A and B are shown apart, each in its own frame.
Chain A
Amino acid sequence: MATEQELSEFLRSVEKRAFKRSVYHVRDEEAALDIVQDSMMKLAEHYGDKPPGELPMLFQRILSNCTLDWFRRQKTRNALFSNMSDFEGAGDDGDFDLLETFASEQGSQQAESAEDTTRRAQVLRQIEDQIQELPARQREAFLMRYWEDMDVAETAAAMGCSEGSVKTHCSRAVAALSKALKAKGIQL
């Protein structure tokens, strides 16, 4: 059973990423804060007695459900059609030659740290914009795999889909992102 301290530490470790992920989905900071708060409350209230190791998966699942609940609560057609339909979205398969281009640019990656704060902020904003442009399921899979550091099985469990679907979503997301970022001249 997670102690109060462990629960607090866990929430502290995930709250910022959870907020940003929610912002990418709902594109509204206030709504994202509400979603994260709601998720925290649900985790503490219903699963506060679970072992610390189970908290990350539970929280990811709760956060996803709270985000979906938020969309469901939106009564306007705009919110429903522009966002909910994204969850069913299926894009073109990735072009991995772009990834190879990315790979060839790995050598110059180290020089990135020399950029000033403004430049880094601009790059970050452009990356975030591109992530927001991804279909919701691709974005969800990509962020869980590469930002939350979850493996394929964990991501599949959290998203309620097969591991194959996670791999497909991730490869499509990576292909779309690499293509978009390359077009903007952004090197990672």
Chain B
Amino acid sequence: MTSKMQYTGSEQLQERFGRAVGRRLSAGTAELPYHITERLRAARTQAVAKRRVEPTAPAVVASGGGKLAFGGFGLWRQIASALPLVVLAGGLVLIHSIQNERRATEVAEVDAQLLTDDLPPEAYADPGFVQFLKSGH
């Protein structure tokens, strides 16, 4: 800060004159027309309201930062989230194939038992079986 003590004579006069003009101008601002002061008040209110939005900005930035932090792992995140579905689908296919195989094995066992068993005597009383024998098969 420049103190008045450092001023030379002409600088002091200059300072005094400048301040006197400044005081006149300040007095003039007190008499501004109503429509001007209203416009200024509205502009001020609007500006302050704009600032009010500011506190939410860091939150937005923070969430954006979070996205950025995860941005590098986006592909891995997608793969990781799809993995359970892939495992589930694979499991279902595996279970289906195991069950098919087991059912085929059971049917094969039944067929083998039927084919290898002795013919029961009552089979000869069956008209159908008799007819089968007559036909020569």
Contact = CB atoms under 8 A, between A and B. Distances in A.
B3 to A, nearest CB: 10
B25 A127 contact: yes
Interface stretch (B42-50, B61-69, B78-86, B114-122): B42-50
A171 B43 contact: no
Given A17-B26, A106-B16, A124-B28, A96 B46 contact: no
Interface stretch (A65-73, A74-82, A84-92, A142-150): A142-150
A96 B43 CA distance: 42
A48 B51 contact: yes
A45 interface: yes
Given A4-B51, A11-B48, A16-B29, A96 B20 contact: no
A131 B15 CA distance: 16
Nearest to A43: B47
A58 interface: no
Nearest to A106: B16
Contacts of A102: 13, 16-17
A100 B13 contact: yes
A124 B27 contact: yes
Interface string A5-46: 001100110011101100000000100010011001101110
A178 interface: yes
A120 interface: yes
B87 interface: no
A73 B133 CA distance: 113
Interface of A: 4, 7-8, 11-12, 15-17, 19-20, 29, 33, 36-37, 40-41, 43-45, 48-49, 96, 99-100, 102-103, 106, 109, 120-121, 123-124, 127-128, 131, 142-143, 145-147, 149, 151-153, 170-171, 174, 177-178, 188
22 contacts: A12-B44, A20-B29, A33-B36, A33-B43, A37-B47, A40-B46, A41-B47, A44-B50, A48-B54, A96-B13, A102-B16, A103-B13, A103-B16, A124-B27, A127-B24, A143-B25, A146-B18, A146-B22, A147-B26, A171-B10, A174-B14, A188-B21
